[in-house]
Chains A and B, each alone.
Chain A
Amino acid sequence: MSTKQKDKKAAIIISAILILSASLSLLCLLLPDRGSNAGDGYAAQIYQDGRLLYSIPLHDISESRTFTVENAEGGVNEIEVRPGSIGIISADCPDKICVRQGFITDTKLPITCLPNRLVILLRPLSDKAGDPPAPDVYTY
């Protein structure tokens, strides 16, 4: 096989890898949110250092309230829970990407504060399969 043909083959394989992974990702992003047809809403789960700190059923929230979460090194995030949504409203991390992510209402993208190792994600209340063991604290 000549060098030119080999080049062509390598280029085709690399393009195929790129196109395949890009289209799969696009499909994942465009696919309807899992649990959007589950009538009983979502639980917001707040993780720090991989530990589930709170699990909050969002449909039980009738008025907004805020609370803070602090990690072992003193990193602080202020979280606001609203009826049906949750977000970080202030943080002491340098980039504030977690605050700019705003409020989430579905399972698509979690909110992450990497410097404070805090993750907030929604999970359909009907989804029991993916549930980790009982959280440290329940809030209602």
Chain B
Amino acid sequence: MPIKKLTVLALFTTLSLAIYAVESAIPPLVPIPGFKLGLANIISLILLRNTSAKDAFLVLIARILLSALLFGQALSLLYSLAGGILSLLVMALVTKLLHKKMFFLTGALGGLAHNMGQLVIALIVTSTPGVAAYLPFLVLSGILTGLFTGLCGEYAGRYLPKPY
């Protein structure tokens, strides 16, 4: 990997880690397990838009591992990995289908996929089928927060210079 690319991706990892840290410091707006704004996803969307899915994936994995190391518990690592990887796969596919246009759709579908991944892990961890009652709430919040991060990613990406 060229030094310039390495440096740029490290910078984006730092940025998403900082966003993640700030977001975890804010008390949750709605006391529902699994609800969050997912602002760190903006970085994934910027990278999907301006560079490649591979870069977005590398930065995502680095951010999840670092955040688990710095302020996580072992359990939150599992949730982040499931939600994050599923969401990025879906967003990479949508980015390709839409030829890097209409990022609010990419973000919304990514948010939805993220919450579904986390719900599946919650079902496995608690082994209580009753947890599925959160499904409609998590679908809605995933789409709405995803629309927001999608728009943020679109506008931030538009005004950033080509990273490398």
Contact = CB atoms under 8 A, between A and B. Distances in A.
Interface string A12-41: 001101100110111011000000000000
A112 B97 contact: no
A83 interface: no
A7 B96 CA distance: 10
A49 B73 contact: no
Contact of A25 (B105, B130, B135): B135
B interface secondary structure, majority: helix
Contact of B137 (A3, A29, A50, A97): A29
B98 interface: yes
A7 B101 contact: yes
Given A7-B98, A22-B139, A114-B75, A121 B112 contact: no
B98 A14 contact: yes
B163 interface: no
Nearest to B109: A14
A21 B112 contact: yes
Contact of B97 (A10, A29, A102): A10
B109 A18 contact: yes
Given A7-B101, A110-B131, 5 more contacts: A10-B97, A10-B98, A25-B139, A47-B128, A112-B134
B28 A97 contact: yes
B102 A11 contact: yes
B19 interface: no
A94 interface: yes
A1 to B, nearest CB: 14
B32 A101 contact: yes
B75 A115 contact: yes
A65 interface: no
